[in-house]
Amino acid sequence: MGKRRFLVTGGSQGIGAAVVEQARGAGHDVVFTGRDQGRIDEVTSKTGGFGLAADIADPAANAHTVEVCDDRMGGVDVLINNAGYAYRANIGELDLDAMRRMFDVNVFGLVDLTNRIVPSMKERGGGDVINIASTSGMKGGAGGTAYGGSKWALRGISQCWQAELRPHSIRVVCICPSEVQTNFGGLKGRNNPNKLFADDIASTIMAALEMPRRALWPELAVFAANPWKEG
């Protein structure tokens, strides 16, 4: 894979930050977004990527993000749709407003941003869209109506985009990580060295991008080999 232009949403921590670091380490240009300016500055300082404060649920912010990518890099070759968060509650206790706010980020904001970027990919005759879903979107679980539903939706959206974009040489890959040791959902201290790390998912993404252009991984789940092992 030659030098390419990456846009990584949710790139100020966790999986997104790991993708920024690995992409920059491989010599690619990277713009990334986040909502915490302090974390954005840390990743910028560490990687040399260009960080941008943006809320993917805001259409105006998405329009600005695309403008920044065009101005700084001349476009986007690789879109990493990573921004997202979890709201969980059992049926009978769901706050529908909270669920809608989460769908605005995990689904509608992601679609809006991609909708703005794909036309230029079509014009250039190629590109890659990587959607970060979850194993929560492959098997239902208690409390997962909202979050799991958003990731099931993303898997279906990815399949529709594959059908639409493969004739334009645009690859759409849906990555479904299992539990990853990040601060996702505000949870800290998950330090079992046998569970997944953000770097593992970033390496999977980079491997998918390194596949020959004629090859496509439509979807892949990533699990820890033995997360029950002690230390």
Examine the residue annotation and report whether 147 is marked as an active-site residue of this protein. Answer: yes
Contact partners, residue 30, CB within 8 Å, separation at least 6: 5, 6, 7, 8, 11, 20, 23, 24, 47, 49, 50
110-124 vs 59-73: helix axis angle to the nearest 10?
A: 30
Tokens coding 100: 């809608």
- Residue carrying structure tokens 């909708």: 115
How many CA atoms within 13 Å lie on the side-chain side of 175? 28
Backbone φ and ψ of 187, nearest 5°? -85, 130
Tokens coding 12: 């100020």
H-run or E-run covering 193: none
Closest CA to 78 of 153, 160, 3: 3
Whole-number Å distance between alpha carbons of 179 and 222: 9
> Which of 6, 32, 50, 147 is the catalytic position?
147
Instruction: For the chain, count helices (H), then strands (E).
Output: 7, 7
- Amino acid 144 reads G
Whole-number Å distance between alpha carbons of 55 and 1: 30
- Catalytic center residues: 147
